[in-house]
Amino acid sequence: MSETETVTVDIELTSPIERVWTALTDPAGFSRWMFFQADGFRPVVGHKFQFRSEAGPGWSGIVDAEVLTVDPPHHLSYTWVSGAVNTTVSWTLARRENGGTSLHLEQTGFAADAHRESGGAHYGWTKMLEQLQGVLASEQ
């Protein structure tokens, strides 16, 4: 079996877990914090959909995805396939004692030598989660 890389990002949010879950599963809300539009997303296991963004050099701007797990409001995962990248994105949410939410993101399955892709993913997810934090804070 070949080795793979995993991208992880953790963030503490002041919003309640239900509000964070909605931000992760409401396709209309994705555009407020994600660099992508969710074309046909539904949080239903086996559902196939696409994330779409502006195309760039060497990239179509399309990510094919399929929902793998849904456990509201604690866990969501889906495939993330675009070009040579074939990974899984997993979100884990935990309720904090102060009423906020701990959010853990993992994107697994990057080829061990795909440092450009995994580094780009880490940068992108970090920026998007900063935007998510701002969107949620503005709604409180």
Q: What is the pLDDT of residue 56?
A: 86
Position 2 pLDDT exceeds 70: no
Q: pLDDT tens digit string along 20-32?
A: 999 999 988 888 9
Query: CA neighbours within 13 Å on the CB side: how many for 1?
Result: 4
Residue 13 structural domain: 4-138
Residue 1 banded pLDDT, cuts 50, 70, 90: very low
We report the CATH number of the domain holding residue 96 as 3.30.530.20
Burial class (CB in 10 A: 0-12, 13-18, 19+), 98: exposed
Task: Say how many domains are in the chain.
Answer: 1
Q: pLDDT tens digit string along 67-126?
A: 999 999 999 999 999 988 999 999 999 999 999 999 999 999 998 888 888 889 999 999
Q: pTM for the complete prediction?
A: 0.93
Which residue matches tokens 């697994």? 108
